[in-house]
Amino acid sequence: MGLNLSIRRIIFYSLIKPTFNSKNEKTLDVIPVSQALQIAGRAGRFNTQYHHGYVTTYKPEDLPILKEVLSSSIEDIEAAGLHPTLDQIEMFSFLLPNASLTNLLDIFVSLCRLNPYYFMCNIESIKFLAGILEHISLPLRARYVFCCAPVDNKSNFVCAMFLKYARQYSNNQPMTSNWLCQTLKFPFSRPKNMTELDHLLSVYDCLDLYLWLSYRFPDLFLDQESVRDIQRKLDEIIMDGVLNITKLLRASGGDHHKGHRMYNPQARFKQINMLLSNNDNSSSTSNTN
């Protein structure tokens, strides 16, 4: 999360993380030392009322593994990741004018030849976003920048908002803080359950995405400071909600952990478009009343 929450204790629910090897095959490995330190370092950090932070695991059998990981030295960097640059993609587009961005990326990766000191970064997230923007009229340069944006592509809400940003940009319509508040239904109320909390976290991601795009397209993403103020207010609401929900969970003694569903890109495209269509219809209805 990009949230600056005051956290006393971090609990690792799992120490296993899916990764992709050089052949783009999915494997399951123990979380790397650098990432474990990054996550654990949030405990007792930012503006906290606690003098010390604590780290533990949800499963008792994982605790010795976590101790070993955190006490290990950070691995040496043996190879650097490479990513296709915008200039390279534009060169491919000049030679293949009818190819989509997804096709250009696939062709680029298939033609790359790297020595052992380099590897090709995983570009699946870029290709996923390129698929979302397939039918929106954008210059290649802007399209590629949009597709490099930090988007949580597992969140339908964030992806739908990403698509709205792109549509507004395509139509050369400025995105003010008033437009953003209306679209995200600001002001927000305190979340009463995990579903509402999860939604507000997605809203926070949408604000983060706006700020990221505002540095690349300042002429259309206009209200950086106002959006930062909205983020600070949302930060406080989320923190208040977390404390309240924690009390409720302790009182109920329930386990509200949600299982992960299998990821299906084509199904996600349909869900995102359906969500966006529903939002557009709601806006049209409210405008006619």
* pLDDT tens column, 60-116: 999 999 999 998 888 888 899 998 999 999 999 999 999 999 999 999 999 989 999
* Distance separating alpha carbons of residues 196 and 237, to the nearest angstrom: 11
Of 90, 122, 154, the position where a domain reaches its end is: 122
Between helices 224-252 and 177-184, what is the axis angle to 10°?
20
Same structural domain for residues 90 and 145? no
Instruction: Answer yes or no: is pLDDT of 216 > 50.
Output: yes
Same structural domain for residues 41 and 84? no
Give how far Cα 5 sits from Cα of 48, 63, 110, 208, 237, Å. Answer: 8, 24, 43, 15, 11
* Pair of tokens at residue 7: 């956290």
Residues with Cβ within 8 Å of 148's Cβ and at least 6 positions away in sequence, in order, are: 126
Same structural domain for residues 169 and 236? yes
Q: What is the mean pLDDT of residues 34-52?
A: 76
Cβ–Cβ < 8 Å for 56, 12: yes
SS3 category, 284: helix
Res 118: pLDDT: 93
258 occurs within a structural domain: no
Res 17: pLDDT: 83
Q: Strand pairing partners for 17?
A: 29
Q: What does pTM read for this prediction?
A: 0.74
Residue, of 23 and 146, whose pLDDT is higher: 146
Cβ–Cβ < 8 Å for 44, 54: yes
* Distance separating alpha carbons of residues 59 and 64, to the nearest angstrom: 10
For 83, the domain range is: 77-122
Total number of domains in the chain: 3
Q: Kindly report the average pLDDT of the chain as a whole number.
A: 84
Tell me the pLDDT band of 263, cut-offs 50, 70 and 90: very low
Same structural domain for residues 167 and 179? yes
Residue type, 235: D
Q: What is the pLDDT of residues 222-249, one digit of tens each?
A: 999 999 999 999 999 998 888 888 887 7
130 occurs within a structural domain: no
Q: What is the pLDDT of residues 91-104, one digit of tens each?
A: 999 999 999 999 99
